[in-house]
Structure 1
Amino acid sequence: MYGTPLAIFLPSLAGGGAERMMLNLAQGAVAAGVAVDLVVGQAAGPYLALVPPGCTLVDLGAARVLGALPGLVRYLRRRRPRALLAAMDHANMVALWARVLARVPTRVCVSVRSNLSQEAAHSPFLAGRWMPWLARAFYPRADAVIAVSQGVADDLDRLLGVGRARILVIPNPVVTPELAALATAPADHPWLQPGTAPVILAAGRLAPQKDYPTLIRAFAALSAGRDLRLIILGEGPERTALESLIQQLGLADRVSLPGFRDNPFAYMSRARLFVLSSAWEGLPGVLIQAMACGTPVVSTDCPSGPREVLADGRYGPLVPVGAVEALAVAMALTLEQPPEPERLKARAADYGLEPVTRRYLEVLGCGSLAPGCDPT
């Protein structure tokens, strides 16, 4: 006998891409008639206000994801969900361990959001560098291993050695029905008002993965002799270093770091160009969201995701990681010859909420049960 049909487990509701995508999935599942428990180690973070109506929030009261293990075991014994989906590598491990300790028949699926090899190679923490070993030891015990892109799946195949057929590829549910309306909402930045200079936009955590120094240097080269502005949305540990670089390059009046915004779409729809400068990704949701707003995009050809999203460059230029000059040239060309917005929107629709949610529910064992998802 099962209890709640579907549980989604996250460490917190911090303002990251994984958290946003899991909230989107919860929204899609509820819309499909599936009851959802959103189980979080700690109910804290800027996305707390975005928990979808009809979704039950379960707070385990743990500041660290490993500390959520006892609470998750108790939750599984009490609620006995039919399926548990975990997102983010440390949460994936805790979910698999919790099922063993709880001794419940819950189907546990793990979602791998980024290129694990790259994450481990760049991690400053011992636990992060150990993650490939932990994945090899425990991910094969999951009922399904879900990668967000073909590149992430290929990387997992090399790491896990379980066979490529054992790894499912389901993209993120990036484009929600509300996105178009949110894109028309007012933008609270003075550079995005009518009659101002063209704005180039980036969005994501201020962290080494996003390689914003390359973008800032490329913007410095591009903006010489041009009236342009650069806005980078997000917060993170690299803020001080980025602010110092902006000062050194004399860009303080042309580059803005306004922090995290819960509605980046209002910025995307008003930007002349969106740029992803990452050193590595899993599936860059912000790139897809910018396309859904009809905004031209330029991206690094990093592992993994941008090449798949942009179809080998058919929807926007791809440049080598860390290549300042190539990025500046691609930005200039795209500003001069932008693609048709409707073409970009059509491509972004491939990552829509409804079709992606349907695929997740099928893998989780709820596809044939919605609406209602009979728990017996």
Structure 2
Amino acid sequence: MPDFNKTKIMFVLPALTAGGAERVMITLMNGLDRDRYAPCLVSVSDKGDLHDLIDQDIDFCTLKQKHLALGWTGLFQHLRREKPDVVISTMAHMNFVLLTMRPFFQKTKFIVREAITPSFLFNKYKKTSWLIKLMYQILYPAADAVLSPSQIIFDEFRDVLRMSSKNFFVLNNPVNTKTIRACYEALSKKDAAHHKSVHFLAVGRLGRQKGFDRLIEYLPRLSLPYDWTLTILGEGDEREHLESLIRKHGFEDKVFMPGLVRPPWQHYLQADCFLMPSRYEGLPNVVLESLACGVPVIATRESGGIAYIRDHSPKGAVRVVDSMHEFVQAMEQVKPGKASHKKSLLNDMFEQKAVFRHFVKILHMVQR
């Protein structure tokens, strides 16, 4: 039986695929105080690998539709039936659909989260960019709050779309530093050997966005006085293409793709440097997790809020480069390390408790 004294918050996702935006939403949902909030989750599709991240006490519903275009009517009916106090969504297409429903739910507050720069969508969907711009300008002002992990995203709303930022709030991606460090340090006690080679690590969905293809294409230019390996964790549609590039350059004994690994901390333990060759990002979770493990980062400037992370990290912890040529040059400066305890490089502002406090403040403000 529902507790009418609690605020019912419905989180909505297109699917449970293993992406950063989905993980952030689930983390925020799991972290809500159950004495004050009744969180639930709705996914348009039942596909994805993140089911096991959802806390067992959270009501979970899937509309079992392949695409949002097929699931919007079911989503509308679900909202009418459940009557949530607050709805929170992420990703532009999901946000657009929910905000068109807003006039029919006057008592419900709508919060949307934008994880990438609008310009990326304009460039990706050039023929319909005019429509995307129009939907941003018409629908986003109707949201009770627009969340983003990086100020650079909001800067585009202001400078490119000429939109007011009165309902915009920066909310850092939360990192469970305590859990990560506990797992990481337990592993480090078992393996304190010195490396004789440099171990690079990259993590993310195997898609064009992540830039793993251009990283592999540039690896023949890498000149190190040490042996080296690169491990890429993740799954996606680009696996076959990436494997063909590995074979093309004869890197079968240097570049490894073991798939989606959870928890991944053993790989972070072995890593001397984390690589992010992305073509675009929001505020990359994997970079924050790498810093929590004490592993420095090399990243492309296109990696969303990477400069924001760099500016709030110890000097030298995050190196931001402007080209893949510079990326490889930065890799050449990495030396073999020791698989043992490494001090966290992550700023406390990204720690889960700090982010949750800010999130709750935004919820309180929206509900006033």
TM-score > 0.5, shorter chain as reference = yes
Question: Take 2:226 and 2:213, find their aligned partners in 1: how far apart are those partners?
Answer: 20
One-letter code aligned to 1:111: R
1:38 alignment partner, one of 38, 41, 47: 41
TM-score normalised over the length of structure 2? 0.87
Gaps of 5+ in 2: none
Q: CA RMSD in A?
A: 3.1
1:337 offset after TM fit, Å?
Answer: 9.3
Change (3 A) 1:201 1:38: same
In the alignment, what sits opposite 2:252? 252
- Quick check: 1:4–1:37 contact (8 Å CA) kept in 2? no
In the alignment, what sits opposite 1:206? 206
Matches within 5 A, 1:1-376: 4-30=7-33, 33-101=36-104, 103-123=105-125, 130-175=131-176, 177-183=178-184, 197-222=197-222, 225-302=225-302, 304-311=304-311, 314=315, 315-320=317-322, 323-335=323-335, 341-342=342-343, 344-345=345-346, 347=347, 349-365=348-364
Q: Which has the higher contact order (CA 8 A, sep 6+)?
A: 1
Question: Take 1:233 and 1:217, find their aligned partners in 2: how far apart are those partners?
Answer: 18
- Give me the identity figure in percent: 29
- Quick check: 1:9–1:38 contact (8 Å CA) kept in 2? yes
Question: Take 2:193 and 2:54, find their aligned partners in 1: how far apart are those partners?
Answer: 30
Question: Take 1:367 and 1:96, find their aligned partners in 2: how far apart are those partners?
Answer: 15
- Quick check: 1:13–1:40 contact (8 Å CA) kept in 2? yes
One-letter code aligned to 2:173: N
TM-score normalised over the length of structure 1? 0.85
Change (3 A) 1:336 1:261: closer
- Quick check: 2:147–2:171 contact (8 Å CA) kept in 1? yes
- Quick check: 1:265–1:289 contact (8 Å CA) kept in 2? no
Q: How many pairs are equivalent? A: 358
Gaps of 5+ in 1: 370-376
Which deviates more, 253-262 or 129-138? 129-138
Question: Take 1:259 and 1:343, find their aligned partners in 2: how far apart are those partners?
Answer: 26
| Residues 314-335 of structure 1 deviation map (CA, whole Å, 9 limit, x = unaligned) | 3321101xx2321122122243
1:239 offset after TM fit, Å?
Answer: 2.0
One-letter code aligned to 1:12: A
Q: SS state of the match for residue 270, structure 2? A: coil
- Quick check: 1:300–1:318 contact (8 Å CA) kept in 2? yes
Question: Take 1:358 and 1:53, find their aligned partners in 2: how far apart are those partners?
Answer: 23
Q: SS state of the match for residue 62, structure 1? A: coil
One-letter code aligned to 1:85: I
- Quick check: 1:60–1:72 contact (8 Å CA) kept in 2? yes
